[in-house]
Structure 1
Amino acid sequence: MITWRDEAAVLSVRAFGETSAIIEVFSPVHGRHAGVVRGGTSRKIAPVLQPGAQVTVSWSARLDDHLGSFAVEPVRSRSAAAMGDRLSLAGLNAVCALLVMVLPEREAHLPLYHRTISLLDLLGQPDVWPLAYLRWEQALLEEMGFGMDLSACAASGVNEDLAFVSPKSGRAVSRDAAGVWADRLLPLPPVLAGKGDASGAEIAKALGTTGFFIENRLIKGLGDRPMPAARARLIDAILRLEA
């Protein structure tokens, strides 16, 4: 019998048979990992198995490549914070859906794990959450090997008047260097580079650029799968904060 124990965040829950559930978690040592929770639909266990919840899981299986079973102990629930407003709910759903979609199974991504837990702990704080989420998407791209280089212009090397991002290289491009090719480049709002206004409109614009790379670099290679709908709902909620 193979066993391990780790702390994790619950990413998804689905029914399995009449009384059990299959959950996917994100743990620091074992990455995105699935397992069966016996009695997972019971009144005692079901409230613990909510997306975003912090839990301790003990996994066991006869062979390493089997689905295996989880025993779950609650550490911290985030359901109250997530259900408190539209932004938090959409944000939680977007984070969980993206991780389920793009993370390789059973592959540790420790920096991204810690970044994700820090983000989830900010649920219910609409004044800081949108910008924290933008930074999380940038960290996700970096962890998956598609980080953007926004330090200087890819064409000229200057670090002033950077206004665009190349959709091919993910590098910044200055306004002068873009020239007639500007309409083929992605916008580089200052907030994406850690500068300027962090309004909802600017963050939403920046998420359009990160979203391009998530969709065309991370998701495109996974087959015919669309961007999670929760992400669009999150952007809408961010824009509504200032409406």
Structure 2
Amino acid sequence: MTDTTYGTRRTALVVGASRGIGLGLTERLLERGWHVVATVRSATRTPLHDLAGGGVDGLTIETVDITEADQVRALHERVAHATGLDLLLVNPGTAHDRWETVADVTPATFERVMLTNALGPMQFVERFQDLVRPTGTIAVMSSGQGSVANNTRVTGWEIYRASKAALNQLMRSYAARHPDDPRTLLLTAPGWVRTEMGGADAPLTVEASTRGVIDTIEANAGHGGLQFLDQAGATVAW
């Protein structure tokens, strides 16, 4: 992306939009007239590229691996030339074997999940927060499984749960360090969605989940402060 602006359109940067929930979030924003800069992890063709190839208006695709600092810095330089962001929406997500617990997970798997789901997203927020307008929103995709209070039964995804809880804690630390920041800060939970991870029995389609997430983001724009909300706009217990 080179020197350009997006006129009067609201502008969103959606990180992790190649498929699934990230792609759905991009589609919902485009339907509502946003200009969306959406990222993929590599140059390999994805469903996001298919969406762009369909002639959709207002979509720019960028490539970045959020765990690679050099790539994140380079993307910041490219996006900084454009109009300020109304929404920074970071959608991290990697998983592991569902029934793998802390008793048997390898250090390599633990590091990968934590790096992708917690450290990478928050370092991305730190790098890009200066591009978000004072009236804008910084939103990070968490999960209901990141709730410590609600972790009362065995459902699997133990390391994934830990990574999302870590993400939540890091976002709260970010908010504590920026008490006078007027921007809206959101951790969003998409619900149980029919994705590769969620499985065929999940009650929510990607379209329904992402419509709710974007409704929630738009409804809270300009409110300021940090909240942990689900796709229906309800507060999720920390």
**TM-score bracket for this pair, using the shorter chain length:** under 0.3
TM-score, normalised to structure 1's length? 0.27
Q: Which has the higher contact order (CA 8 A, sep 6+)?
A: 2
